[in-house]
Structure 1
Amino acid sequence: MNASLRHVFLASLLRRRLATALSLLAIALGVALGLAVQLIHGAALDEFGRGMRLVAGEADLQLVGPRDGFDEAVFVALARHPAVAAASPILEVEARLPGREDALRILGVDVFRVLRMQPGLIPLADDGADAGGRFAALQPGRLFLSDDARARLQEADRSGDGESQPPAMRENRVLVQSGVRSVTLEVAGRVPGMAGVIGVMDIAAAQQVFGRIGTLSRVDLKIARGLSVPQALAALNPTLPPGLALRPPEAAASEVGTLSRAYRVNLTMLAAIALVTGAFLVFSTQLLSVARRRREFALLRALGLERRTLMRGLLAEGAAVGLVGGLLGAALGHALAAGAFHFVGGDLGAGFFRGLVPSLHFDTLLSLSYLVLGVCAGLAGTWLPAREAARVAPAHALRAGEHERGGLPQGHTRSGYAAAMVALAVLACLLPPLRGIPVGGYAAVVFVLAAAVLALPVIARRVLPLLARGRTVIWRLAHARLSGTPGQAVVAGAGVIASVALAVSMAIMVSSFRVSVDDWLAQVLPADLYMRASVSSGSGYLDPAALAMIAATEGVARVDTTRLINLRLSDDEPLFSVLARPSQGNWGLPLVSGSMAPPAQADGLPPIWVSEAAADRHRLARGAVFELPLGGRMVRFIVAGVWRDYARQHGAGLIESADYVRLTGDQRVNDAAILLQPGAAPPAVAEALRTRFGAEHVTIALPGEIRALSLEIFDRTFLITYLMEAVAVMIGLFGIATTFAALAVTRQGEFGMLRHLGFTRGEIGRLIALEGALTAALGVLAGLVAGAAIAWILIEIINRQSFHWSMELAVPWGALALFVASLILLAALVARLAGRHAMQRSAVLAVKADW
């Protein structure tokens, strides 16, 4: 294409500045949201992997097991194995800092073994900590901090109620919690080779301080010279007890990536839908531009321009819009990612990387990929208008009057195509997930959107006759215009359909999820008070003595306990959660199938109630036998029922507390559910417990407080979803604005004639606004139907295959009605504003231009 032709095509983008700017913005927003999600996750995962590599040092393999640790006797056997050249035991503890919201990750290490394998964990004593600092790390109660940890512990902390808490480190002393008491550790030096908020101490001292005698969290191994990793695995795996796994150090980052994959993919798909909506906007603007320039193209064709050259020129316009929009989106995506790191960290709003402080790096390949997606969106939106423009015969396009309606779709019935898309959507819903990703569900969403767009002419043809009974002149003119040019509704409504479908489907899904979570919380929180010493992975716990003190507190009638542990069922699966608690009377267990009574064919096996995720992942039903690694051996349980669990995505099982203690000997407790005597005031009992144990050592909450906090976290998690909905709706309004701005230019003669017939500019403005409202209403109608179908796919297919959660349908009728009314009013407003320029022209000149 020569320079003159490039000017003819690309200069048109500058002539229609508003439409071009809105198209650029739509593509930029879609690219930015998708790129930001990937950048945030990638940076957080890289930071997590970097920390794991520093801790692993030169290890070839790592022995991992339950999060609470395993018997250290395994280390002795591995260290003596001929396939192992060196072994380094590690005890990892999330040490709760009394009175603060955060915790300190402490690694208990063998200071002699880390010299050979993990130089990054070598502690360096401060001057004066010990004679020469040589044996400071072996002294009980000595702690060594990374530079990041020292800086963090010297900062004041802000608790959940907004009150400022003093620094955790004062005068080289740090208070940590073990059980329900505080232990003072002396900061004796630094760990210069480590990054992140990490402390290091002698493993024997850590076991004693935190009550973990005989327990390890991990063993890092260096295999013997001459052996490959597969050979070492083949030699070592048969010697391991159940529930332990050997894997490369980088597998930890891969496991975290797997945990967050479903959440990340869902956000990426939402961004992709926003980008598709932007492609619809490019389609509508390009189609209208082609319709206005039909005579121009016909003249060029008559002068010898080839069809393929015309099509290439128009595709170049779309590619230019996509390229510039993609560049803007890439810049905006990096800015959004940087803002997310600054304000909310790198956990994607779902807590997968809580505590990490990742740094943003420019990813060339990822940025280019999303830039290409922007160009593809521009090309996809332009391809159909370009093909139609290339097909038009020059003689036909040069006829008078063709510039007003030519090139717009004529609204012919596409019911067959729409039905085919619906059939494909149904078939896609039947597909199983691919590596845990509901590919079929996402394909079904695309097919439903396509079906809604293809069905829009049919909807317009069926609905518009029902609106012909309006008695005002403006109403009749607006109806006649849409009935005579249904293509106008198709072009403007395409973007509205996509945006409304996305907004409606997400509103229904989020409302259903929120209502289901609220109902679930009401079922699982039946007690009067709840008490815990720390989260399940923390160093706080309740032992039998603490439970006896709780039971002896005035006003307490009964104490039910929960012990949460995380087991490793296989090398390639995420950790499986086991809750040990009394199950009498279906107390707080929301069953969806089965019962609290063990099956008749139990044969003496202890019962287990599994979550929906566990039932799906392991194909379990009532009466099935399920094996768990407990106490160093595989224990068989019989499934008594399936229950709904929104707290653990990758599966959980509930067993009787008595069975757990009998099998493991572990009497620690994470949570205590306290039922009060009649007449006892929950605040008074809570205050008595805080006084007895120390308010800094325990967290006590009412069920209502836990529900409110959980729903607040839920809303924060879906904040980015609401943002994407708003972006899609804004893009749909852009489509209305560009469509009516372009159509108003071609209708100047019509407006001039109406002015000669006595219409005022205000009445013409109301006419355009009414046309915009009717057009938006048609798009909203199709979008509501498509949104309801997509909501069903999200609830029953995508969420079920991604997270294995079921939920009850809850449609927010009031919010949807308000949204629909607001969108139609906004559409009327933007249509009125878009046509204002055309109405300002002199009526005489407007009519004269047609002669």
Structure 2
Amino acid sequence: MRLAPVFLGSLGRRRAATLLSFAAIVLGVALGMAVHAVNQAALAEFGRGLRTLAGAADLQVLGPRTGFDEALYAHLATRPEVAQASPVLEVWTERLGTTDRLHILGLDPFAAAAVTPALLARPARSADRAESESRRAVLAEDSLFLSAAAQTALAVRPGERLRVYAGSQPLELRVAGDMPGAAEDRQLAVMDIAAVQRHFAQFGRLTRIDLKLVEGLDVQTARAALAPLLPAGVWLEVPETAEGQAANLSRAYRVNLGLLAVMGLVTGAFLVFSAQALSVVRRHTELAFLRAIGLRRRQLFVWLLAEGALVGLLGGVVGVALGHGVAFALLELLGGDLGAGFFAGLSPTLSFDPWTSGLYILLGVGAGVAGAWLPAREASRIAPAQALKSGGDSALSPRRGHPRLGLALMIASLPLCTLPPFLGLPIGGYLAIFGLLVGSLLWLPLLASGLGRVLPLWGPVPVRLAVARLRAVPGMGAVAAAGVLAGVALVVAMAIMVNSLRDSVEVWLDQILSADLYLRAGRTQSGGVLDEALQRRLADVPGVAHIEFTRHDSLRLVPGRPPVALLARPVSPDGHELPLVGSAQAVAEGETAIWISEALHDLQGWRPGDRVRLPLSGSEVPVRVAGVWRDYARQTGSLMLDLTDYRRLTGDRSVQDAAIWLAPGTDAFSLAKALKAAAGSGALEVTAPGEIRAISLRIFDRTFAVTYVLEAAAVVIGLAGVAASFAALAAARRREFGLLRHLGLTRGQIGGLLALEGSLVAGVGILGGLAVGGAIAWILIQVVNRQSFHWSMDLSIPWRSLLVFAGTLAVLASLSAVLAGRQAMRQDAVLAVREDW
């Protein structure tokens, strides 16, 4: 430990480089910690809500969104495996005249008491109401019981009236009490199940049955006995399944943000590498002297690693603390889903996890050690006698990197891209990205040398000196350019990927939003529908040239997986209205055609031409896959069939949405008012396609807001890395500058020399970053996004933005180099070379 002041004290002597390395590691750790903390808080809150809904249920019977026949409840309740069964009808509605959503559970209070007691209603008591009358209020048709969170959100109290939509008609309910057992942040309402069926036109329908098994019977045995009794599309699930599905749904988004955090850590490791390599250059005489007086190679190697580890440790600790602060801010600004829409409506609470925090601190330490590894190894291999005689930056001058190892890593990235996802995650794609980044770092000296040999040795003296230096000392150029390459690669990769996705989404929106107006009966999940009479009235409104209706539902195809969205709308036999991927498959006359999304194609393995069976109305119906279409709105998969076929197979004539084409000369605003008036209740929403497009793109931009912040931080850190590198190099070259001053160069010429060197070094990093970033973008588009979210996109490179970015970065790097070398240029020329007299 006697050597600690010698080695660890050097971090304080080179404060700028140390602070930059520290800041990059803090950034990577903080982002990763914040994303993890927010997601864990959201999942914990989601899980608490699910446990409230499930109560003591061992199994749940789940079906499509529209529910299933309530006769199944009577059948299951009498089974010997079932001790208690509680029927549930879930509906979503909205407050009249607003977009405030309300989740209503229709329950049988007597059955729910034994299975889900936390959902029981508590009537509000008053001095003039007897206890028996309060209990009868639970079964009243107009009684509604709200959780504390719902009362706060809707600003209503027991005894007040609440007007909501029941389908497309207004419904006035009385808030008769509360739900003391509901989760604190869960916005729920409870009504008698018969009243919900009547008010919301769900006669004879249930959406869930909670089962409590007889004591001693295990779940698997009960499931094997009860599963054959269920109709098609209805499954038995353990209550924890929904929590796992929510975690899986958000996992890909969370892991991809975590990948950005890892790339931030890689940038930090590169900056540690730059700082340590330049530190070795500046201290080569000092390190050689320590070796000469008895310090072993291994000891020198370990102490230099300790310097990087200390920077990583401090960065990890501060990053974890900052990450929790960022997580709090993200929860306030974007919610528990970080703007992605997975946990809308939840109010998660952050908690400190010491094990996870410790892991992220170790990641910071690992980044510091990884960055210091190569400089420490190079320094430990330098012969003391040679280093004591040499000067300036000769300690690492002969090195040309490790191009063979770098090439091997980059070549190995190709087969990694072909690996299938592991646990739903594109592990092969992540490893390929890591291989490209590390391989490009090892290739940097060779790239710098090649660029130096391409540039001609002519022109003014500063130009020739700058080019000659890049040829002679490519290792130093590579060290200074490492942070630039990492930052540019990150920015370019994310810019190409986000631009490609955004352009693809815009084209997709243009294809699916071909009508002049769009109408819906409240939100898609609110339970609002358009009956046949209202459909006819809408079609007869003057100014409507053509109208097409859409029915939304969900299907459960596989147990344990989230339901798949079902859309029924008019579709032509060739599906030309859809954003198809590939060619359509002809379907024989008499067969029912369906069109599946890319997610369903990947998750189910269905292909165009396949004959599959769909669970519709309690029975399996044979259909033929006609084609695959792009759907950026539903990650779990969706399928579409013609509305006429849907009605023929299910008998359901209701719809939720309508696409409307205007007659020539019709004013869209006036027609929208007429359409709303046709319903007479204010339940309809009419929107222009431009508004839907703008809202969709705004949600898209909010989802990627975190990536924009990281890109900006990467650019700033890369520029600061150039400044720190040139500050260290300028200090190490003070005798060289003094000699140039003796030979007649002015301070302005030396400044120009530094500016040119900064531009050349930045050019090396920018060229490498553009190439590596483009390759990473291809992996993100073709591998990571496809395996994570199951959608494809068309490559769209923002050439103009990237060229402006590269040019601006080169100019800023020149300015950074000049500013960093000002101190060296101020030194007296005689003092700079006095050691050589």
TM class, shorter-length? over 0.9
Which stretch of structure 1 is more off in the superposition, 813-822 or 535-544? 535-544
- Asked if 2 retains the 8 angstrom alpha-carbon contact of 1:68 and 1:537, the reply is no
- Asked if 1 retains the 8 angstrom alpha-carbon contact of 2:336 and 2:348, the reply is yes
What amino acid maps onto 2:582 in structure 1? S
Give the structure 1 partner of residue 568 of structure 2. Answer: 580
1:598 and 1:174 map into 2 onto residues whose CA distance is 52
Which stretch of structure 1 is more off in the superposition, 59-68 or 73-82? 59-68
2:157 and 2:201 map into 1 onto residues whose CA distance is 22
Which stretch of structure 1 is more off in the superposition, 460-469 or 328-337? 460-469
1:328 aligns with 2:314: no
Give the structure 1 partner of residue 493 of structure 2. Answer: 505
- Asked if 1 retains the 8 angstrom alpha-carbon contact of 2:169 and 2:681, the reply is no
2:135 and 2:681 map into 1 onto residues whose CA distance is 39
Residue 301 of structure 1 deviates from its aligned partner by 1.5
What amino acid maps onto 1:667 in structure 2? R
Give the structure 2 partner of residue 452 of structure 1. Answer: 440
- Asked if 1 retains the 8 angstrom alpha-carbon contact of 2:534 and 2:678, the reply is no
SS state at 1:405 partner? coil
1:821 aligns with 2:810: no
Give the structure 2 partner of residue 151 of structure 1. Answer: 152
- Asked if 2 retains the 8 angstrom alpha-carbon contact of 1:429 and 1:793, the reply is yes
1:346 aligns with 2:344: no
1:33 and 1:206 map into 2 onto residues whose CA distance is 45
- Asked if 1 retains the 8 angstrom alpha-carbon contact of 2:96 and 2:165, the reply is yes
Of 828, 831, 837, 1:842 maps to: 828
Residue 533 of structure 1 deviates from its aligned partner by 1.3
2:129 and 2:533 map into 1 onto residues whose CA distance is 37
1:537 and 1:756 map into 2 onto residues whose CA distance is 80
- Asked if 1 retains the 8 angstrom alpha-carbon contact of 2:597 and 2:630, the reply is yes
Which stretch of structure 1 is more off in the superposition, 300-309 or 518-527? 300-309
1:773 and 1:695 map into 2 onto residues whose CA distance is 67
Give the structure 2 partner of residue 38 of structure 1. Answer: 36
What count of residue pairs does the alignment treat as equivalent? 831
Which stretch of structure 1 is more off in the superposition, 120-129 or 107-116? 120-129
TM-score (norm 2): 0.97
- Asked if 2 retains the 8 angstrom alpha-carbon contact of 1:294 and 1:407, the reply is no
2:222 and 2:332 map into 1 onto residues whose CA distance is 43
SS state at 1:134 partner? helix
1:193 aligns with 2:193: no
- 1:694 and 1:308, CA in 2 relative to 1: closer, same or farther beyond 3 A? farther
Give the structure 1 partner of residue 702 of structure 2. Answer: 716
- Asked if 1 retains the 8 angstrom alpha-carbon contact of 2:446 and 2:474, the reply is no
1:284 and 1:367 map into 2 onto residues whose CA distance is 27
What amino acid maps onto 2:52 in structure 1? L
Residue 850 of structure 1 deviates from its aligned partner by 4.1
1:551 aligns with 2:551: no
- Asked if 1 retains the 8 angstrom alpha-carbon contact of 2:397 and 2:472, the reply is no
Of 450, 459, 469, 1:462 maps to: 450
2:113 and 2:398 map into 1 onto residues whose CA distance is 75
- Asked if 1 retains the 8 angstrom alpha-carbon contact of 2:310 and 2:365, the reply is yes
Which stretch of structure 1 is more off in the superposition, 651-660 or 281-290? 651-660
Give the structure 2 partner of residue 423 of structure 1. Answer: 411
1:266 and 1:260 map into 2 onto residues whose CA distance is 10
2:822 and 2:685 map into 1 onto residues whose CA distance is 62
5 Å-filtered alignment, 1:469-488, equals 469-488=457-476
- Asked if 1 retains the 8 angstrom alpha-carbon contact of 2:313 and 2:361, the reply is yes
Residue 694 of structure 1 deviates from its aligned partner by 5.5
1:102 and 1:758 map into 2 onto residues whose CA distance is 77
- 1:131 and 1:743, CA in 2 relative to 1: closer, same or farther beyond 3 A? same
What amino acid maps onto 1:269 in structure 2? L
What amino acid maps onto 1:230 in structure 2? Q
Residue 823 of structure 1 deviates from its aligned partner by 1.1
Give the structure 2 partner of residue 23 of structure 1. Answer: 21
SS state at 1:636 partner? strand
Unaligned regions of 5+ residues in structure 1, if any? Answer: 155-167
1:566 aligns with 2:554: yes
SS state at 2:570 partner? coil
1:410 aligns with 2:408: no
What amino acid maps onto 1:79 in structure 2? A
1:592 aligns with 2:586: no
2:168 and 2:595 map into 1 onto residues whose CA distance is 30
Give the structure 1 partner of residue 194 of structure 2. Answer: 204
- Asked if 1 retains the 8 angstrom alpha-carbon contact of 2:124 and 2:158, the reply is no
Residue 695 of structure 1 deviates from its aligned partner by 8.0
5 Å-filtered alignment, 1:198-277, equals 198-277=188-267
Residue 534 of structure 1 deviates from its aligned partner by 2.1
- Asked if 1 retains the 8 angstrom alpha-carbon contact of 2:493 and 2:773, the reply is yes
Residue 469 of structure 1 deviates from its aligned partner by 4.9
SS state at 1:577 partner? strand
5 Å-filtered alignment, 1:724-763, equals 724-763=710-749
Residue 149 of structure 1 deviates from its aligned partner by 0.8
| Cα RMSD after superposing both structures | 1.8
- Asked if 1 retains the 8 angstrom alpha-carbon contact of 2:300 and 2:380, the reply is yes
- Asked if 2 retains the 8 angstrom alpha-carbon contact of 1:99 and 1:695, the reply is no
Which stretch of structure 1 is more off in the superposition, 457-466 or 664-673? 457-466
Which stretch of structure 1 is more off in the superposition, 725-734 or 673-682? 725-734
SS state at 2:581 partner? strand
Of 56, 61, 64, 1:63 maps to: 61
Give the structure 1 partner of residue 420 of structure 2. Answer: 432
- 1:184 and 1:292, CA in 2 relative to 1: closer, same or farther beyond 3 A? same
- Asked if 2 retains the 8 angstrom alpha-carbon contact of 1:64 and 1:245, the reply is yes
Residue 504 of structure 1 deviates from its aligned partner by 0.7
Give the structure 2 partner of residue 81 of structure 1. Answer: 79
Which stretch of structure 1 is more off in the superposition, 180-189 or 392-401? 392-401
Give the structure 2 partner of residue 159 of structure 1. Answer: none
Give the structure 2 partner of residue 183 of structure 1. Answer: 171
Give the structure 2 partner of residue 131 of structure 1. Answer: 130
- Asked if 2 retains the 8 angstrom alpha-carbon contact of 1:536 and 1:565, the reply is no
1:135 and 1:830 map into 2 onto residues whose CA distance is 78
Of 641, 653, 672, 1:686 maps to: 672
Deviations 1:688-721, CA, capped at 9 Å, x for gaps:
2233335842211111221111111111111111
What amino acid maps onto 2:687 in structure 1? A
Give the structure 2 partner of residue 303 of structure 1. Answer: 293
Give the structure 2 partner of residue 53 of structure 1. Answer: 51
SS state at 2:191 partner? strand
What amino acid maps onto 1:593 in structure 2? G
1:340 and 1:487 map into 2 onto residues whose CA distance is 41
Give the structure 2 partner of residue 378 of structure 1. Answer: 368
2:114 and 2:581 map into 1 onto residues whose CA distance is 53
Give the structure 2 partner of residue 795 of structure 1. Answer: 781
Deviations 1:309-346, CA, capped at 9 Å, x for gaps:
11111111111100000011001110110001112211
Deviations 1:597-621, CA, capped at 9 Å, x for gaps:
7424x6x331111112212222222
1:171 and 1:569 map into 2 onto residues whose CA distance is 44
Percent identity over paired residues: 51
1:822 and 1:297 map into 2 onto residues whose CA distance is 38
1:608 aligns with 2:598: no
SS state at 1:569 partner? coil
2:747 and 2:203 map into 1 onto residues whose CA distance is 86
Which stretch of structure 1 is more off in the superposition, 345-354 or 169-178? 169-178
Which stretch of structure 1 is more off in the superposition, 657-666 or 742-751? 657-666
- 1:14 and 1:495, CA in 2 relative to 1: closer, same or farther beyond 3 A? same
Deviations 1:241-286, CA, capped at 9 Å, x for gaps:
1212222212111111111111111111111111111101001101
Residue 593 of structure 1 deviates from its aligned partner by 2.8
Give the structure 2 partner of residue 163 of structure 1. Answer: none
- 1:303 and 1:419, CA in 2 relative to 1: closer, same or farther beyond 3 A? closer
- Asked if 2 retains the 8 angstrom alpha-carbon contact of 1:526 and 1:587, the reply is no
1:715 and 1:173 map into 2 onto residues whose CA distance is 39
Which stretch of structure 1 is more off in the superposition, 586-595 or 516-525? 586-595
1:609 and 1:305 map into 2 onto residues whose CA distance is 72
Give the structure 2 partner of residue 360 of structure 1. Answer: 350
What amino acid maps onto 2:21 in structure 1? S
Deviations 1:739-778, CA, capped at 9 Å, x for gaps:
1111111111122223333433333223212211110011
- Asked if 1 retains the 8 angstrom alpha-carbon contact of 2:158 and 2:178, the reply is no
What amino acid maps onto 1:23 in structure 2? S
- Asked if 2 retains the 8 angstrom alpha-carbon contact of 1:457 and 1:486, the reply is yes
